[in-house]
Amino acid sequence: MKENTRRILSVREMTTIAILAAIAAILFMIEIPVVLFYKLDLSTLPVLLGAFAMGPWQGTLILLVKSALGLFHSTSQGVGELADFIMGFAMIFPAALVYQKMKKRKGAIIGMILGTVVATVAAVLSNLYIMIPFYSTAYGMPIEAIIGMGQELIPAVNSELKFVMLITAPFNILKWVVISIVTGLIYKPLSPLLHGAMKR
């Protein structure tokens, strides 16, 4: 009986993961232009909800499936999906880990603040060493031209490092704060549904 129960729970958990990953993949295609070539999307929202409901490793699996689905319509040969996975993981894993240890509103807030900081650092490094070099090569755009675009927006931007510190970092802080706020608003109402999908 116990083995059958575990099997049913496992199947239901995987079903929840698949549904959240599918929703995340759809949201990944809906982007709102914010600054230069940076666009805001809420695709990590279902991932974070799943990570809070089930745990950091399950959240990572949702993120992985979302990124894999994104490869079917990738315009960056998978490089963008790789960077998105790195940044998403940097957000959801520490956030869910803290919440798992402190399952209260305070734990969720602390976790999302920590996740925002870690994800912003990951975004700076990913853009500096992966995204900017890739797009510079793929689109034949000298890095100096990219820096110039940033300099038109913020005169102090005169190097790759300043570009990611003054443009990439603030954009990502905005992105993760928005996702954190929305998560905070809808997690509690959706929590019975998310947990019910696994416990029934």
- Phi and psi at residue 39, to the nearest 5°: -125, 140
What's the mean pLDDT in 124-140? 88
Contact 98, 111 (CB under 8 A): yes
3-state secondary structure of 121: helix
Residue 1 reports pLDDT greater than 50:
no
What's the mean pLDDT in 93-120? 95
Which residues fall within 8 angstroms of residue 38, CB to CB, at 6 or more apart? 167, 168, 171
Residues of the chain above pLDDT 90, percent:
62
**Six-digit token pair at 113?**
């603040």
What's the mean pLDDT in 130-136? 87
Residue 196 reports pLDDT greater than 70:
no
Average pLDDT over the chain, rounded to an integer:
87
Which pLDDT value is given to residue 9?
A: 46
Give the Cβ contact number of residue 15 at 10 Å.
12
Which pLDDT value is given to residue 164?
A: 95
Q: What is d(CA 1, CA 141) in angstroms, rounded to the nearest whole number? A: 62
Give per-residue pLDDT as tens, 30-62: 889 998 888 999 999 999 999 999 999 999 999
Contact 31, 52 (CB under 8 A): no
**Six-digit token pair at 16?**
């929840």
